[in-house]
Amino acid sequence: MTETHTLYAITHSLYSGRARSYLIKRGIPFQELSTGHESFKADVLPKGRLPTIPTLVTPGGEVIRDGAAIIEHFEAANGRPCAPPGPRQQIVSALFDVIGTDGLLRPAMHYRWNFPGENLDFVRYHFLYSQRDVPQREEKTEAMMGRMRHAAVFFGVTDQTRDLVESLYLEYLDALNNHFEQYPYLLGWRPCVGDFGLLAPMYAHLGRDPYPARLMQQRATRVYRWVERMNRADQDVPEYFNAGLDFLADDEVPETLLTVLRVIAQDFVPETLAAAQHINAWLADNQPDSGTAAVGRESQVIGMVEFTLRGETVSALAQPHRFYLLQRVQDLYAALAPDEQASVDEMLGACGMSDILSAVLDRCIGREDNLEVWEA
């Protein structure tokens, strides 16, 4: 009998959707509980260190906090079934993992919190019932929602940037919809790690909340089908009459996917470069001790950065977590042979993503005892 894992997650959580989808697609038995469950505080939090989701408890009692770590746990133990074999596809998969986790927070926050007429009752239900039934539950819910609504500003969502956020998201949605006309997943006929990362904002915020879900259904039906597909255990490709089973042959990255990256690069690259510069200046001034938290509630707030997007100035929080994930892209690239690097250089140059390889922090971020920490 196969033993069951426990996933502490919440349906409306951006990061939970990434880990849940991986467990579903890989056929890993699990039960899902919310962090309001008594066992989370009593048994899980002391090992998980932070009250964040998703957090996984293995049948042997190991606690793994964070979606990236959960996926890496299974990938490393099983021969990396969701990692494509070719260098170009490997880089693209890892890059979409970063983009989904950190690069689409503006539209995710905007489309959840700035359409209260359509979304508020739906969102309030999920926030309310993810908590234990205590006398102050409704008050805590309103306070939590208020904090999250205000947090949208720190991701660069303001009255001044609203039109910009929407126009860029719609271009991205159209490009992704065009890609899924040809293939059911990013790199062909099976999901890569990048699919799971990209699902994070595309499911909980943009594919479930009423307003953006309707927008996706009506404007980008194929994207909506991909969101559904990523939450089903089978391949789920009945509309593709000549479907294959594997990643695309010959390390192909379709032009349709490069077009998606071109749209994203307009926003993702300048923000990443500005954040790297700001964080490096902060590191020089503050010299955090090795082993101190770089990400999460135990870390220090590093501040806001400004960058230019289509002639507009956007201000957003500088987040080391983006670079914790981006290190994986850069490490993959560094391990390639010179001819493979040249092929990747050509691909990244064609979609405006070349600069991400040089967006490097002066201190690496590692992982220790379920925390992302500054290394020496």
Q: Dump pLDDT digits (tens) for 243-268.
A: 999 999 999 999 999 999 999 999 99
What is the structure's pLDDT at 319?
Answer: 94
What is the structure's pLDDT at 336?
Answer: 98
Over residues 51-71, the pLDDT tens digits come to: 889 999 999 999 999 999 999
What is the structure's pLDDT at 10?
Answer: 94
Q: For residue 81, what are the CA distances in angstroms to 40, 75, 84, 247? A: 30, 7, 8, 11
Domain extent, residue 10, equals: 5-77
Name the pLDDT band for 105 (thresholds 50, 70, 90).
very high
Residue 372 within a domain: no
CA 230/CA 227 separation, integer angstroms: 5
Q: Count up the domains in the chain and report the number.
A: 1
Residue 111 within a domain: no
Q: Which amino acid is at 68?
A: A
Find out whether 363 and 319 touch, Cβ atoms under 8 Å.
Answer: no
Q: Give the residue from 207, 198, 160 showing the smallest Cα distance to 179.
A: 198
Q: Sign of dihedral through CA atoms 369, 317, 167, 308?
A: negative
Residue 13 within a domain: yes
Over residues 126-144, the pLDDT tens digits come to: 999 888 888 888 999 999 9
Name the pLDDT band for 43 (thresholds 50, 70, 90).
confident
SS3 252: coil
Q: Which amino acid is at 109?
A: M
Residue 11 within a domain: yes
Over residues 267-280, the pLDDT tens digits come to: 999 999 999 999 99
Over residues 194-248, the pLDDT tens digits come to: 999 999 999 999 999 999 999 999 999 999 999 999 999 999 999 999 999 999 9
Token pair of 356, please? 């991400």
3-state helix, strand, coil in the chain (%, to 5): 55, 10, 35
Q: Give the global pTM.
A: 0.96
> Which CATH number do you get for residue 39?
3.40.30.10
